Amino acid sequence: MGSYAMLSKRLLETDTPVMVHIQELIRKAKDPISLAQGVVYWQPPAQALDKVKEIVWDPSTSRYGADEGLPELREALTEKVVACFLGCRLVGKFNCLLLQIAFKSFYLQQGITLRFGLGNVLSCVTDRQPCSLVFTLQLRRENKLHKSSVMVTAGANQAFVNIVLTLCDPGDSVVMFAPYYFNAYMSFQMTGITNILVGPSNPKTLQPEVGWLEKILSGEGNQPIPKLVTVVNPGNPSGAYIPEPILKRISDLCSSAGAWLVVDNTYEYFMYDGLKHSCIEGNHIVNLFSFSKAYGMMGWRIGYIAYPTEVEGFAAQLLKVQDNIPICASIIGQRLALYSLEVGPEWIGERVQKLVKNRELLVKALAPLGKDAVMGGQGAIYLWAKLPDRFSDDYEVVRWLVNRHGVVVIPGSASGGPGYIRISFGGLKEADCEVAAERLRRGLEELLRDGMVQ
């Protein structure tokens, strides 16, 4: 055969994963430090890993599980994404007091059964573990999604593919905003969605240009209404945060036009400078989540979909896709996810706040590009920086930085942003980040002064 003639046209026309290029550069480089891949430096909670050791020999770990996920994990995640409006916030010293109370009667006396039902209370509270309900209450407050069902997937990327296959057909048009998440773009390409409308973002905030979206969703020029709009919040690759009013405006436009809105919340916990993440809900909205970054579970591949319960047929069609791709997410990975949830969001928050110093180091390292050239960083683990106009080939700049200075970043062209680079500040501890920042600073100074000298 010896040619591409017998290969899928869809895949031939799909972009090559940028990380494949980057990993090849890393393999060939001498002692590189990576600011490229979107990872965190920490591992899952120690107590969760210890529990996983105990179940390796359990026969159920090696069997298939329910397509949509382990029931106990789905229940815990449903509690996480559903809001509960109790009169007090169970945090700080008051929370610590509650954790010391060892009797069901306390919870029952507080009228909590009115909110959850007696059966739910008795199932999650024991005399030995009274903190179970406290933890459940905390999780219920996080995402304020009242009418969503959960499917557990092999990571958020697989969740996105599931959704595209469930909602879209070849010939449909879809909307993304530049700079976009490259794997989402590839998911559209490989599923035959070729009419990908890439909208602009505000050049200062990197938030989606809602005015442009309004025109597109109005069918201006007799163009078909897009089937789906997708955003990542906070953004990958931008690190920009979409405030709730803008997110709601996007949602309203999608609802009026009859379009789906898919929101990737992978970086929900990665917020800085007092900003708060928020989710929105509706029968036209799908929310995606991930354990990879928050709990350091990149290699365990666990994510989940929160989809509208009231949309007839949605669950059944989603299950068709799930059963034919992974059947179910890894059982041991799901167990680790369940055990990790027990540590609560405070465990994540402590680690995320340590990334602020990394961000500061890299902002300083990018200073040679000019103050206005560096954007993002309000959320997620990314900075987005513009290269000088004379260096329009960002792939070449990235290659030069690796080979000449031993520091690795992502070319913006992979995300629809030629002439930019993405810098990740999540994957290194502070001491290593200092070394990477110094290499990056020296590299950029030389780039601006002398060009890409060899």
Residue 290: CATH number of its domain:
3.40.640.10
Residue 133 φ/ψ, nearest 5 degrees: -70, -35
AA letter at 56: V
Q: Are residues 30 and 97 in the same domain?
A: no
What is residue 114's predicted lDDT score, i.e. its pLDDT?
A: 31
**Both 334 and 351 in a single domain?**
no
Q: Are residues 112 and 174 in the same domain?
A: no
For residues 216 and 165, is the Cβ–Cβ distance under 8 A?
Answer: no
pLDDT of residue 191: 94
**Beta strands 410-411 and 420-424, pairing class:** antiparallel
Q: Phi/psi class of residue 59: alpha, beta or left (left: φ > 0; alpha: ψ in -120 to 50)?
A: alpha
Q: Which of 338, 336, 354, 347 is nearest to 427 (CA)?
A: 354
Whether 453 is in a domain gets the answer no
Q: Say whether both 297 and 311 belong to one domain.
A: yes
Q: What gap in Å lies between CA 413 and CA 153, rounded to an integer?
A: 29
Q: Which domain holds residue 296?
A: 148-341
Q: Is residue 59 situated within a structural domain?
A: no
Regarding whether 95 and 201 lie in a shared domain, the answer is no
Distance in angstroms (rounded) separating the CA atoms of residues 153 and 303: 5
Tokens representing residue 153 in the block: 């997937």
- Distance, CA of 62 to CA of 57 (rounded, Å): 8
CA pair distance 376, 384, nearest whole angstrom: 6
Are 135 and 154 members of one domain?
A: no
Q: Residue 422: phi, psi to the nearest 5? A: -105, 135
User: Is position 220 within any domain?
Assistant: yes
Please list the alpha-helical segments (H only) found in 3-155: 9-12, 18-28, 46-55, 71-81, 92-99, 104-109, 113-116, 118-124, 131-140
Same structural domain for residues 332 and 190? yes
In a domain, 65, yes or no: no
The pLDDT assigned to 96 comes to 38
Q: What's the rounded Cα separation, in Å, for the pair 381 and 292?
A: 13
**Are residues 258 and 406 located together in one domain of the fold?**
no
Any domain includes 418: yes
Q: What is the pLDDT of residue 219?
A: 82
Q: Which amino acid is at 334?
A: Q
Q: Which residues contact 250 (CB under 8 A, 6 or more apart)?
A: 208, 210, 213, 229, 231, 242, 261
Number of structural domains (the chain) is 3
The domain spanning residue 363 has which CATH number? 3.90.1150.10
Instruction: Count CB neighbours of 273 within 10 A.
Output: 10
The Cβ-side half-sphere exposure at 377, using a 13 Å CA radius, reads: 23
In sequence order, the 6+-apart residues with CB closer than 8 A to the CB of 7 are none
CA atoms of 349 and 368, how far apart (whole Å): 31
Q: 73 in a domain, yes or no?
A: no
Residue ending a domain, among 323, 341, 359, is 341
CA 1 – CA 317 distance, rounded (Å): 37
Please, which residues have CB within 8 angstroms of residue 312's CB and are 6 or more apart in sequence? Answer: none
Domain check: are 238 and 335 in the same one? yes
Q: Is residue 356 part of a domain?
A: yes
Residue that finishes a domain, picked among 341, 359, 375: 341
Q: Which residues of the chain, if any, have pLDDT below 50? A: 1, 83-140
Handedness of CA 213, 165, 195, 304 (dihedral sign): positive
Burial class (CB in 10 A: 0-12, 13-18, 19+), 93: exposed
The closest alpha carbon to 151, from 286, 289, 288, 305, belongs to: 305
HSE of 112, CA atoms in CB hemisphere, 13 A: 19
Q: Are residues 260 and 384 in the same domain?
A: no
What pLDDT is stored for residue 136 in this prediction?
31
b/e per residue, 123-147, with b = 16+ CB within 10 A?
ebbeeeebbbbbbbbbbbbbbebee
Q: Are residues 226 and 101 in the same domain?
A: no
- Final residue before a domain boundary, out of 341, 360, 376: 341
Tokens of 415: 């995300």
CA distances from 96 to 91, 142, 226, 342 (A): 8, 19, 49, 15
CB atoms near residue 451 (< 10 Å):
11
Contact at 8 Å (CB) between 399 and 36?
Answer: no
Indicate whether 63 belongs to any domain: no
The whole-model pTM stands at 0.84
**Separation of alpha carbons 398 and 78, rounded Å:** 42
Residues 294 and 327 placed together within one structural domain of the fold: yes
- 288-319 pLDDT tens trace: 999 999 999 999 999 999 999 999 999 999 99
